[in-house]
Amino acid sequence: MSAPDGGDPRATRAALVATGEELVRGGVSDGNSAWLARRLRSFGFAVSSIRVVGDGEAAIARAVGEAIAEAAVVVVGGGLGPTEDDRTRHALAVVAGVALTEDPAAAQQVAEWFIARARQPSASNRRQALLPAGAEPLRNPRGSAPGIALAVGGATLFALPGVPAELRAMFDAEVAPRLRAIGAAAPWHERWLQVVGLPESVVGERVAEWMARTGPPYVSDNVRYGVVTLCVSDRDDAAGRERAAACIAAMRATLGDHCYAEGEESLAEHVIRRLRAASATVALAESCTGGLVAAALTEVAGASHALVEAAVTYCDAAKSRALGVPPELLATAGAVSPAVACAMAEGVRRVSGASFGLATTGIAGPDGGTEKTPVGTVHLAVAGPAGTRQVVRRYPGDRAMVRQFALHGALDLLRRALP
Amino acid sequence: MSAPDGGDPRATRAALVATGEELVRGGVSDGNSAWLARRLRSFGFAVSSIRVVGDGEAAIARAVGEAIAEAAVVVVGGGLGPTEDDRTRHALAVVAGVALTEDPAAAQQVAEWFIARARQPSASNRRQALLPAGAEPLRNPRGSAPGIALAVGGATLFALPGVPAELRAMFDAEVAPRLRAIGAAAPWHERWLQVVGLPESVVGERVAEWMARTGPPYVSDNVRYGVVTLCVSDRDDAAGRERAAACIAAMRATLGDHCYAEGEESLAEHVIRRLRAASATVALAESCTGGLVAAALTEVAGASHALVEAAVTYCDAAKSRALGVPPELLATAGAVSPAVACAMAEGVRRVSGASFGLATTGIAGPDGGTEKTPVGTVHLAVAGPAGTRQVVRRYPGDRAMVRQFALHGALDLLRRALP
């Protein structure tokens, strides 16, 4: 149960439309709508429905019409690209019953984007300047396609590019201020608690009383490979904020040091921040994660101050040459063993001169599993000023899942070793 | 343009409804619909839309009504649980205009499920035996909640539990045979063409005549950071397959060696397959991509046969120590330069003994950009038996986008160097 249900008046409702043939074909899942729903709620708009349709103009128009009928704010994602099958702008013109005309401001934006990159806009790019008559172009900070703001059927409609980075940047830069202007009912206050190292079922049991509530504060969880994000939401007034704070405090108490952060900080962002605060550095020796840990850390801006280097050593020879793991140890203990994990962590710390060395070695599958060391077995080790700590994990799922679990397991181990 | 839109008669269309407050609140993304869309297409039904709503009875009824109006088959996921806020069966009764009555067969199923587990069904569990009058219960192989099959408004509707494991098991055991009985039109035949190294707008122009078609074969595109996937779909009969093959051949001809594969092969899978076929190996020296290339290649099962090792060398010291890049070269040319990219590729090839060395160095941002070398500038180099090749790219977008573009640019450069 939750507040945003039917109970809300239309004035505080938002409806989403996601377009893209790959979405209705099952090629990919719609990842934008969950983000948009959270953002919209922070402005006081509760998403009442999400419609996912293909590239077809008729299908988009039908979905937009249905969305406008139920909500005061409609956000359409996708279909603004330069190709023939990008039909969102055409569908909006149909729904609004107006013509599609080239907008000078939009044309200017497209031109500027290409000029800034010393590239020539193609004829098809110029199609991106077409807007339904009376619509307002939205600046795209990340790409060439302008967005669209349009008042239609008593609703305010925003059309954004489907590329997640472009959609998010345009929402925050162009849509957010307009939503504030519309001024919905009292917005929702949200707080997050980030938990790592406990199964979802255990987290769920420990916070069951909160998740079962039929009145605010509402608690929902979102799980990603060993990281559980608890979201607490309540009315954005003094009483609501107080209830949310009490809920966060109570959950922190029962979850203890498995909570690594409040807010929307990712585990990688957290580790980089902690390392920089301690003027410490880390070097990585990755086997089964194959670069995932390095990729996650370097995704964080400023990671270069904390990450010295990473060595992805798949074969034994590389483990010995790059990290100084003794060949006889590899021969006796085996590459997937506590001893080799420790030797990798200590080796990369030594050769790089970093304050901490973090290592992963395991069986991600599908092949390589044995009776004694089945697929999913991962040894993690961290070497630091206080010595070396090592753990073994047995992760479920396929190759991709095991690697993602191992990524979070490794960062959790490093987190706990930091001053 | 694409098949599932207007092109399809209603008889071959399916529409999905996913219910759950957590879905519209942004707690989680809808993962069931993509799976259902793929399974339904294998039975000849093209999903024309997906509607996601909360737990509210009115919202579910509205979405189901809209879905019935557009498709011959409707699959509803979620809202069949035992609690007060599981309202799917009530909403279906409203839409069908019939009463909700306890179904003996459904009651029997619920009872058996608990008896088999030596547990007592609660009063709320018995609510799970309530069905709209005239509906047929669907056996649940994995849980206590029976599903529902219902003929309404000229459509065949199936309501399944939202728990993925239960939904999938019930679909395959109970829905699949009924779909075969309904017997949709000939299923769709699909083929893919993978394109890299051309902007989407240019790809779109070269295949514009195909994408603009209002009859089969239909062509749609899906773009991800420099990789464009063209999907060709046509009726699954001799004529349709012939049209699709001719379309693929024509697009291959106009796109030339920018097509790296047919089918659903990713660029990483392609490179690994090509390397293994040539009994060749690669080693990576990553700066701005920070492990992304290694992570992408090692995601492919069997990558260990082709990837010797990867060195993520963020700082100059690491570039010199691990790859043997001369410090004076770093001082004179700068770390982000063609010369250093080549030295990194040749260095990692030398130290690893791999057949190919692949290197990336650039400015991913947000900081580090200059007048001469703005954010988005990436130098890529591949060193191999035939010498070293180097290119410079200027990628758009934020840090995450630049890194993703650089990943695909690097793999494209390696692909073109392979025998």
pLDDT reading at B201 higher than 80: yes
pLDDT confidence tier of residue A186, bands split at 50, 70 and 90: low
- Strand locations in B236-386 (E): 259-262, 282-286, 307-313, 356-362, 377-384
Tabulate helix, strand, coil % of chain A (nearest 5). Answer: 45, 25, 30
First to last CA, chain B: 37
Q: By the CB < 8 Å criterion, does A372 face chain B?
A: no
Comparing CB atoms, the residue among B4, B52, B321 nearest residue A50 is B52
Q: How far is A118 from chain B (nearest CA, A)?
A: 10
The fraction of chain B above a pLDDT of 90, given in percent, is 63
Q: pLDDT tens for residues A83-129?
A: 888 999 999 999 999 999 999 999 998 888 888 877 787 877 888 89
Whether A4 shows a pLDDT value over 60: the answer reads: no
For residue A348, the model assigns a pLDDT of: 97
CB pair distance less than 8 Å for B314 and A304: yes
Q: Distance (Å, rounded) from C-alpha B303 to C-alpha B272?
A: 6
Determine contact, residues B128/B82, Cβ cutoff 8 Å: yes
Q: Report residue A284 as tokens.
A: 């990585």
CA dist., res. A372 & res. B362, Å (int) = 44
CA-closest candidate to residue A92, choices A133, A137, A138, A36: A133
CA angle at residue A107 from B255 to A76, to 5 degrees? 80
- For residue A170 the two structure tokens come to 């345009």
- Please state, in angstroms and rounded to a whole number, the distance separating the CA atoms of residues B383 and B398: 28
Cis peptide bond upstream of A4, omega within 30? no
Answer whether A311 sits within 8 Å of B315, measured CB to CB. Answer: no
Q: Is B94 on the interface with A (CB under 8 A)?
A: no
pLDDT of residue A3: 37
More confident residue, A178 or B121: A178
Which member of B199, B223, B294 has the closest CB to residue A312? B294
Contacts of A290 in chain B (CB under 8 A): 294-295, 297-299, 303, 307, 310
Q: How far is B354 from chain A (nearest CA, A)?
A: 11
Q: Tell me if B26 and A37 make a contact (CB, 8 A cut-off).
A: yes
Q: What is the pLDDT of residue B81?
A: 81
Cβ atoms < 10 Å from Cβ of A156: 20
CB contact under 8 A, B205 and A124: yes
**Do the Cβ atoms of A84 and B5 come within 8 Å?**
no
- Return d(Cα A45, Cα A73) in angstroms, integer: 8
CA distance B201 to chain A (A): 6
Quote the tokens at residue A394.
């047995």
List pLDDT tens digits, range A145-173: 899 999 999 999 999 999 888 999 999 99
Measure CB to CB from residue B200 to each of A6, A82, A309 and give the nearest one.
A82
Buried-exposed string B115-130: b where 16+ CB fall within 10 A, e elsewhere = eeeeeebeeebebbbb
Residue B215's CB is within 10 A of a number of other CB atoms, namely 10
The answer to whether B24 contacts A50, with C-beta atoms less than 8 Å apart, is yes
Cα–Cα distance for residue pair B21/A8, rounded to 1 Å: 14
Q: Is the minimum CB–CB distance between B179 and chain A shorter than 8 Å?
A: no
Decide: B397 and B405 in contact? Cβ < 8 Å.
yes
C-alpha atoms less than 13 angstroms from C-alpha of B105 in its C-beta half-sphere: 12
Which domains, ranges and CATH numbers included, belong to chain A? Answer: 10-182 (3.40.980.10), 188-262 (3.30.70.2860), 267-417 (3.90.950.20)
B390's tokens: 């180097």
Q: Which of B219, B25, B134 is nearest to A222 (CA)?
A: B25
* Mean pLDDT on B142-166: 91
pLDDT, tens digit, 9 for 90 and up, residues A92-101 = 999 999 999 9
How far, in Å, CA of A312 to CA of B92, rounded? 54
Question: From CA B334, how far away is CA B329, in angstroms rounded?
Answer: 7
| Interface with chain A: mutation pick from B94, B220, B402, highest number of A CBs within 10 Å | B220
Q: β-strands B356-362, B282-286: how paired?
A: parallel
Q: How far is A315 from chain B (nearest CA, A)?
A: 6
* DSSP letters spanning B23-82: HHTTSS---HHHHHHHHHHHTT-EEEEEEEE-S-HHHHHHHHHHHHHH-SEEEEES--SS
- Could you tell me which of B307, B372, B300 has the C-alpha nearest to residue B333? B372
CA distances from B197 to B81, B257, B362 (A): 49, 9, 18
A307 forms bridges with which residues in the sheet? A282
Question: Measured between CA atoms, how close is A169 to chain B, in angstroms?
Answer: 10
Facing B312 at nearest CB: one of A25, A33, A309: A309
Average pLDDT, chain B: 90
Confidence (pLDDT) at A199: 79
Flag whether residue B351 sits within 8 Å of chain A, measured between CB atoms.
Answer: yes
Q: How far apart are CA A45 and CA A67, in angstroms?
A: 14
Q: What is the largest CA-CA distance in chain A?
A: 77
Token code pair at residue B376:
């988005």
Measured between beta carbons, the chain A residues lying within 8 angstroms of B394 are 117-118
Contact in structure between A197 and A412 (CB atoms under 8 Å): yes
- In single-letter form, the type of residue at position A82 comes to P
Measuring CA to CA, how many Å separate A95 from each of A19, A58, A193, B50, B289?
A: 16, 10, 42, 20, 43
Do A59 and B309 count as a contact with CB atoms less than 8 A apart? no
Predicted pLDDT of residue B186: 57
Across the interface, whether the CB atoms of A27 and B201 are under 8 A apart is answered: no
Q: Distance from A181 to chain B by nearest Cα, in Å?
A: 23
Q: Quick check: bond before A419 cis, omega within 30?
A: no
Residue bearing tokens 């291959």 = B252
Average pLDDT value for chain A: 90
Partner A, chain B 286-315, Cβ-Cβ below 8 Å:
286, 289-295, 297-299, 301-304, 307-315
Q: Give the pair of three-digit tokens for residue A300.
A: 């964080």
> Of the candidates B276, B251, B289, which has an alpha carbon nearest to the alpha carbon of residue B408?
B289
Confidence label for B1 from pLDDT (cuts 50, 70 and 90):
very low
**Helix or strand (DSSP H, E) at A45:** none
Which residues partner with B286 through β-bridges?
B312, B360
Q: Does B23 touch chain A (CB under 8 A)?
A: yes
Chain A CB within 8 Å of residue B392 CB = no
* pLDDT score, position A185: 56
User: For position A126, what pLDDT does the model report?
Assistant: 81
Residue A16 has pLDDT above 60, yes or no: yes
pLDDT greater at residue A310 or residue B181: A310
Tokens 């809300």 -> residue: A8
Token pair listed for B89: 């069966």
Contact B37 A24 (CB under 8 A): yes
Could you tell me the end-to-end alpha-carbon distance of chain A, in angstroms, rounded to an integer?
41
What gap in Å lies between CA A72 and CA A15, rounded to an integer?
A: 8
Give B143 to chain A, closest Cα distance, Å. Answer: 17
Do the beta carbons of residue B349 and residue B280 sit within 8 Å? no
State the average pLDDT over residues A388-404: 90
- CA A183/CA A206 separation, integer angstroms: 37
Q: Is B324 on the interface with A (CB under 8 A)?
A: no
Between B204 and A381, name the one with better pLDDT.
Answer: A381
B214: helix, coil or strand?
coil
Are the Cβ atoms of B295 and A298 closer than 8 angstroms? no
Q: With an 8 Å Cβ cutoff, are B2 and A124 in contact?
A: no
Q: How far is CA B7 from CA A58, A98, B47, B183, B215, in A?
A: 10, 24, 12, 19, 7
For the segment B16-71, what is each residue's pLDDT rounded down to a tens digit? 999 988 888 877 778 899 889 988 987 888 899 999 999 889 999 999 999 999 99
Say how far apart CA A321 and CA A30 lie, in whole Å.
44
Q: Does A14 touch chain B (CB under 8 A)?
A: no
Interface test with B, best of A12, A17, A19, A21 (most B CBs within 10 A): A21
C-alpha radius of gyration, chain B, whole number:
27
- Label residue B267 by pLDDT band (50, 70, 90): very high
Structure tokens at A160: 């954004």
Sequence-separated (6 or more) residues with CB below 8 Å from residue B171: B36, B39, B75, B158, B160
- ipTM for the predicted complex: 0.77
Asked if B35 reaches chain A (Cβ–Cβ under 8 Å), the answer is: yes
CB pairs A-B closer than 8 Å: 329
Report the distance separating Cα B66 and Cα B58, nearest Å.
12
B290/A290 Cβ within 8 A: no
Cα–Cα dist A37/A3, whole Å: 13
Instruction: Name B205's Cβ contacts closer than 8 Å, sequence gap at least 6.
Output: A122, A123, A124
* Cα B227 to the center of its chain, rounded Å: 13
**Cβ contacts of B403 on chain A, cutoff 8 Å:** 298-299
Q: Is B87 helix (H, G, I), strand (E, B) or coil?
A: coil
**Residue A346 Cα, gap to closest chain B Cα (Å):** 17
